[in-house]
Amino acid sequence: MRLDYLTIFPGFFAPLELSLPGKAADKGLLAFGVHDLRTWTHDRHRTVDDTPYGGGAGMVMRPEPWGEAFDELVRAGSTGAERTTIVFTTPSGEPFDQRLAEELATREHLLFACGRYEGIDQRVIDHARGVAEVREVSLGDYVLNGGEVAALAITEAVVRLLPGFMGNAASLVEESHAAGGLLEYPVYTKPPQWRGHEVPAVLRSGDHGRIAAWRHDQAVRRTAERRPDLLTPSVLDDGTPIVRATAGDAGELLTLQRACWVQEALANDMLDIPALHESLDDVRAWLGEWDTWVVRRAGRLVGAVRGRLEGGDAWDIGRVMVAPDLQGSGLGRALLEHIQAVAPAAATSYVLFTGAASARNQQMYKRAGFRLRRDLPAPPGAVVLTKRR
């Protein structure tokens, strides 16, 4: 990936030398350039601003230097991912979040246009749309004096997602705002006691199932307290919400799972199906590893589905469960739609499997755009279906 920065304060980007790992640049994984906008002025005072048409306080950035800079820095004529993406950081832009970070991380060339004063002449943005992909992005609902800080923050959020950057890519999956959008669970390290504060005993129990469940519960609890907006459930046609599963749902999930996979066993004339043999602890354990959603009607857990990122870009969908007495009501279809909708931007495809003889399931998946993939390895007695995002 190449990153370029256009600014009247090039010194603002000195930290890039520090933050952007040198070795990444050595490995050719990353290249960047910082450009002083005044380079593209031609008057003695190297003027980049002028008074606003229509009057008002402050100054506006002149269009000409930007146009000439783009003439030099934008990859003319390139298409697809190679194409330049100009990122104007502006308080009136689309909100920057993890999903947008994941999207920008798929680009090959980002050119950050960092304004100052009261902003950049609008014709610069209009012109830019003719020569490159343009994203106007805001860091958040507060006013800064210029676009540089936002460009630095966006850079860090994007570069750390690039393959080969983060020491352990695994941690990327677990993070806040990554898949499923829960806030982080609290973390602890040694000593076990500190100034009268204990490390929660469950974390020192070695019981990974209970630890995963505790962490998941803490993440859901914190998110509900601090960011209920992240928990906005999507709803079924009748207004029933699809909500995040919690550890407290484990027992009912096990019960529903047994009921659904007894049907699968009958339909496929086989008992050797993992879901049929799982214990309560198994369910508790996978609740901490999968993004799981449930539906309750009159308090009864009647539907569930789970998803997680596999191999960095495939959203693995599983355990689509509907209470036997409600099958055929469209609940399965709604759960399938929901789990696709909450997949992180990094997911470029969906994958799932079902019984080779589970005709009704296969029909539902095909109607939802999934394709049977006999070319892909499937668990015994099962078939794989995939769908490009």
Positions touching ligand JD8 (CB under 6 A) are: 89-91, 93, 115-116, 118-119, 138-140, 142-147, 150
Residue 178 C-beta: closest distance to ligand JD8, Å: 22
Q: Which is nearer to ligand JD8, 144 or 267 (CB)?
A: 144
Residue 43 assigned as binding residue: no
Residue 144 assigned as binding residue: yes
Q: Which is nearer to ligand JD8, 52 or 146 (CB)?
A: 146
CA atoms within 13 A on the CB side of 255: 9
Distance in angstroms (rounded) separating the CA atoms of residues 124 and 119: 11
Residue 87 C-beta: closest distance to ligand JD8, Å: 9
Residue 49 C-beta: closest distance to ligand JD8, Å: 11
Q: Which is nearer to ligand JD8, 56 or 200 (CB)?
A: 56
Residue 103 C-beta: closest distance to ligand JD8, Å: 17
Dump the DSSP string for 294-310: EEEETTEEEEEEEEEEE
Residue 143 assigned as binding residue: yes
Q: Which is nearer to ligand JD8, 143 or 298 (CB)?
A: 143
What ranges make up the beta strands (E) of the chain? 2-7, 31-36, 49-50, 60-61, 84-95, 109-114, 133-138, 193-194, 197-198, 234-235, 241-244, 291-297, 300-310, 314-322, 349-355, 371-372, 382-388
Task: Look up residue 186 and give its amino acid.
Answer: P
Residue 6 C-beta: closest distance to ligand JD8, Å: 12
- Of the candidates 166, 210, 226, 215, the residue with the CA atom closest to the CA atom of residue 187: 215
Largest Cα–Cα distance of the chain, in whole Å?
85
Residue 139 assigned as binding residue: yes
Distance in angstroms (rounded) separating the CA atoms of residues 320 and 256: 10
Q: Which is nearer to ligand JD8, 113 or 347 (CB)?
A: 113
Residue 385 assigned as binding residue: no
Distance in angstroms (rounded) separating the CA atoms of residues 308 and 102: 16
Binding-site residue positions for S-adenosyl-L-methionine: 115, 139-144
